[in-house]
Chains A and B, each alone.
Chain A
Amino acid sequence: MESASVAAEHQHGPPEAHQSSRFDRQTLGILLFIVSEVMLIGAFFASYFFLRVVANEGPWPPDQFELPVAVAGVNTAILLSSSVTVHWALESVRRGQRRGLLLGMGATWLLGFTFLFIQINEYVHIGFSARDGSFGTIFYGLTGLHGAHVFVGLLLLSFANIRIWRGHFGPKAKDHLGVEVPGIYWHFVDGMWVIVFTTIYIL
């Protein structure tokens, strides 16, 4: 049994059928998913820049729209710090430190939830809706699309946290894919927000 697993780890020759020789299937799956998401977000950004550059005459955003830049900036810091905590959690599990994994993933979930809560609160108080012109539509489209991704990320982090509490993960790479894969997705969500925030709120 042990010799079989050793042989599998040091396998020579072509890889198993329908499996990449460079990525395990879980990582490949999340990478392909992220590539498809990048194309979706790219379509939204194309719409944004079309509305702003081609179809717009006058200031952008139009005068009646005022964005809460400071609140969104704090929210950006919250989300970026969640990238640090998820990385800390992964470093901890690689070193076999269960406490760091627990705290890191728990903190990541809380920071993500805080981000989503603040964003929903921002929607409630922002003073315009998706029906209010092209700016309102694309603002809610882009930020809402990102919010949906945060929600999905929180679901993935919830499952990872439950599994951590049950003691599922270990230091070997193949033993903590259930944290690594949501971690990659979470970093993607964070990077996406940095670009959305800079484009919509600042530039």
Chain B
Amino acid sequence: MHNPLRSEADAFRFVMTIGAGAAAVIALSLLAGPRFGVVLAAALVGFAAGVAWARLRAPSATSGPAPSEEAGPEDATR
């Protein structure tokens, strides 16, 4: 799984995602009432947890060292 705080750029995207979700919750709460905001917040947290879980189970592209292009056949088998 890709760490969302691996770099500043990743952390920025993470914060903007949280901000977008919070903006939706705030808008719904102000328009329809806090109960609806709580439901949307719970749904978004559940969705985020589901996505994180799916990514955790998916094979990561960076989970193992990539074989070096410079390495010969002997190196690749080590």
Chain A contact residues, CB within 8 Å of chain B: 12, 22-23, 27, 31, 34, 80, 83, 86-87, 90, 179-180, 183-184, 187-188, 190-191, 194-195, 197-198, 202-203
Contacts and interface: CB of A to CB of B under 8 A. Distances in A.
A203 B8 contact: no
Contacts of A191: 14-15, 18-19
B11 A188 contact: yes
A202 B11 contact: no
Contacts of A202: 25-26, 29-30, 34, 37
Contacts of B18: 191, 194-195
A103 B34 CA distance: 39
A54 to B, nearest CB: 16
Contacts of A83: 12, 15-16
Contact of A194 (B22, B29, B30): B22
B41 A203 contact: yes
B76 interface: no
A182 to B, nearest CB: 9
Contacts, number: 67
Tell me what chain A mostly uses at the interface: helix, strand, loop, or mixed.
helix
Contact of B8 (A80, A183, A194, A197): A183
A37 to B, nearest CB: 12
A3 to B, nearest CB: 16
B9 interface: yes
Contacts of B22: 194-195, 197-198
Most chain B CB neighbours (cut-off 10 Å) among A12, A180, A195, A198: A198
Interface residues of B, number: 25
B3 interface: yes
A135 to B, nearest CB: 15
Interface string B7-47: 11101101110110010011001100010011001000000
Contacts of A87: 8-9, 12
14 contacts: A23-B6, A31-B3, A31-B5, A83-B12, A83-B16, A87-B8, A184-B8, A187-B11, A191-B14, A191-B15, A191-B19, A194-B19, A198-B41, A203-B41
B38 A12 contact: no
A187 B7 contact: no
B77 interface: no
Contacts of A187: 5, 8, 11-12, 14-15
A34 B4 CA distance: 12
Contacts of B29: 202-203
Given A187-B8, A191-B14, A203-B34, 20 more contacts: A22-B62, A27-B7, A80-B15, A83-B12, A83-B15, A86-B12, A87-B8, A87-B9, A90-B9, A179-B8, A183-B11, A183-B12, A184-B7, A184-B11, A188-B5, A188-B11, A191-B19, A195-B18, A197-B22, A203-B29
